[in-house]
Structure 1
Amino acid sequence: MAEQLIVRAELIELKDDLSDVLPGGMRVPVQFNPESFKLSYANQIQAQPNASSKAPPRQAGRGAGNQSQGTPARQFVGAGTTKLTVQLTFDVSAATTDTFLNAEGKRQSGSVFMIDDVRYVTGRVLYFMKPKDPGAGAKDASQRVPPGLRFSWGKFLFDGIVESIEENVDFFSADGKALRASMTLNMIQQTILVPAYDKAVQVTRPQGGAAAGATPLAKARSGQSMQQLSDSGGGGGGFGFGVSASLDVGGGIGGGVGGVGGAIGVGVGLHPGAGAALGAGLAVSSGVAFEAGSWQRIAAANGIENPRTLAPGQFIDLAAQRPRIVTG
């Protein structure tokens, strides 16, 4: 199977005017791609006084005034803002050497996260929060601004500055070192950012192929193996058992037992009068299918090299290449 590398999001330092990437600037790849992000758009609107709605001086203090005069006019007075909110997770206890692609499409090793304290990584993210000293040619030496930042993930780009960061450390080593942290990054751009797409790209898929996102995926937890995920997430087959019985007024008794993927029927008929007849039948339906949740096959189908330790937050398709045995 061809090697498929994951493209990870990256934080990239920009020039102060956000015009381009700063040569030699800070670059921080994310360890786990975010599950989602939120974009917020807002216009700056100010209510303008409406002269026709002003009450004469003699009516001042006599209630709400004449409501039939209309509401104050509203005027667009600013360029508006666009905000990005995204949560990033870093876990050095789950770091691997797996190769990924950065924002430039270059291969990079996950060993950059194999360190003893996660706050080394989160500190690099906080770099974008701290204002920089103005340059030598700055007109106002007291004016300091945070570094320009680009959040890049595939074709999604967001350029702006950091408005706020929240850091939550929730896992520590025995000697008190921080191992896992989540950061909520809030960025802002003083304009309305509209995606610049000329036209949508038509996507084709094989006949009968499922649409993107149609297959449910299971999310691995920290320290979970492929076998544990398969057992807990529906990777194994199912078992069913049922019993039904009915009594006929004419003296007939019937019963049925259903097992896994098959049906067994036993019938006994008693006919009073001239004599008694006993009949029994056993039938197993043809084309019975049994599903086996072989975690080794699921791991191979998902391209997982080390099924004993999954990366936290990794999504697995438990239905991929499941073995199917058909009899009949």
Structure 2
Amino acid sequence: MGTANITEWDPVAWQAVDNSGGLTVDFDPASLQLTYTPTGVTGANAVITSGTWSKFAAQQTGQSTTLGVDLTFDTTATGTPVTDRTQPIVALTLPDVSRGSAAPARRVARFSWGGFVFFGAVQTLTQTIDFFSATGIPLRASVKMTLSDVKQPDPAGARPAQAAPVPFGAAAGISAAPATATAPSGTTAAATGAPVGTTPLTLSQAGDSVQAIAARSGAGVSWKTIAAANGIDNPRLLPPGTILDPSVRTP
């Protein structure tokens, strides 16, 4: 038996998908083909001092690597269909729906042969069945496979968690009320002296002004403070549906 092995790999947890040990090939490949391709902007134009246009060399931003390998599988000793042996490799060309994403990811494979290890997604796969039994059972197949490299995620360079949306008026030091807070239309249910951010937000009505909203909010509310804190340029005319935090109090 060969020593080359192909295992489906989890690119997020960076471990084998299961503990089956993967697929060990029947015959080791004769050779491995690695192709390195520079990546980046190509075909760009540049203006030179003479005023004419000229092409400049492509700008390189990275490099991609592909692995090409030819494998042979043979089941003449057992008489079972050779396609049963190659099916795990063919399955690597199917989308990974295990994560329930609307856009399934490509499956990743770990190819190892001795001290050589390569992680990649199947780019192309060609299976040729070239030997059958007297009853038509496929017994030998050659598989040409190309893998496009996949790198292990770098924890240090991982994208930070997305910050919560900045509430309206936060730039002025105003905190929004909890989303579950409710109030009758056109009112704020603000208690005099209530801490900032503890009263519901207010939606302006057609023809509303900051002065009118301040008046509905109760005593102790300065319409000038509300306008400044909420970034209102024209306090006399508010577009309908403008969100305000009227819980600001005059110092």
The equivalent of 1:161 in structure 2 is: 121
Residue from 62, 75, 79 that aligns with 2:59? 75
1:161-202 per-residue CA deviation (whole Å, 9 max, x = no partner) reads 1111001011111111101110001100156xxxxxxxxxxx
- Report matched runs for 1:1-328 at 5 Å: 8-17=3-12, 19-24=14-19, 27-47=22-42, 48-52=44-48, 71-77=55-61, 79-93=62-76, 95=77, 114-136=78-100, 141-190=101-150
The 1:23/1:177 distance shift into structure 2, 3 A limit, reads: closer
The 1:71/1:32 distance shift into structure 2, 3 A limit, reads: same
Runs of at least 5 residues in structure 1 that lack an aligned partner in the other structure: 1-5, 56-65, 96-113, 192-328
Whether the 8 Å contact between 2:2 and 2:25 is mirrored in structure 1 is no
Structure-1 separation of matches of 2:13 and 2:145? 18
- Indicate the SS of the match to 2:93: coil
The 1:131/1:115 distance shift into structure 2, 3 A limit, reads: farther
- Indicate the SS of the match to 1:44: strand
The 1:127/1:54 distance shift into structure 2, 3 A limit, reads: farther
Q: Which amino acid aligns with 2:128?
A: N
Q: CA deviation at 1:124?
A: 1.8
Q: Which amino acid aligns with 1:175?
A: T
Structure-1 separation of matches of 2:141 and 2:2? 21
Instruction: Extract structure 1 runs of 4+ deviating beyond 4 A.
Output: none
The 1:18/1:45 distance shift into structure 2, 3 A limit, reads: farther
Whether the 8 Å contact between 2:2 and 2:26 is mirrored in structure 1 is no
Please report the TM-score for the alignment, with normalisation by the length of structure 2: 0.54
The 1:22/1:159 distance shift into structure 2, 3 A limit, reads: same
The 1:150/1:50 distance shift into structure 2, 3 A limit, reads: same
1:262-288 per-residue CA deviation (whole Å, 9 max, x = no partner) reads xxxxxxxxxxxxxxxxxxxxxxxxxxx
Structure-2 separation of matches of 1:36 and 1:73? 34
Whether the 8 Å contact between 2:121 and 2:150 is mirrored in structure 1 is no
Q: Which amino acid aligns with 2:60?
A: F
Whether the 8 Å contact between 2:45 and 2:54 is mirrored in structure 1 is no
Structure-1 separation of matches of 2:111 and 2:105? 18
Please report the TM-score for the alignment, with normalisation by the length of structure 1: 0.42
The equivalent of 2:207 in structure 1 is: none
1:91-137 per-residue CA deviation (whole Å, 9 max, x = no partner) reads 111x4xxxxxxxxxxxxxxxxxx34211111112111111121415x
Structure-1 separation of matches of 2:137 and 2:2? 29
Identity of aligned residues (%): 27
Q: CA deviation at 1:80?
A: 1.9
Whether the 8 Å contact between 2:72 and 2:141 is mirrored in structure 1 is yes
Q: Which amino acid aligns with 1:151?
A: F
Q: Which amino acid aligns with 2:131?
A: F
Structure-1 separation of matches of 2:15 and 2:50? 50
Q: CA deviation at 1:73?
A: 4.2
Q: CA deviation at 1:16?
A: 2.9
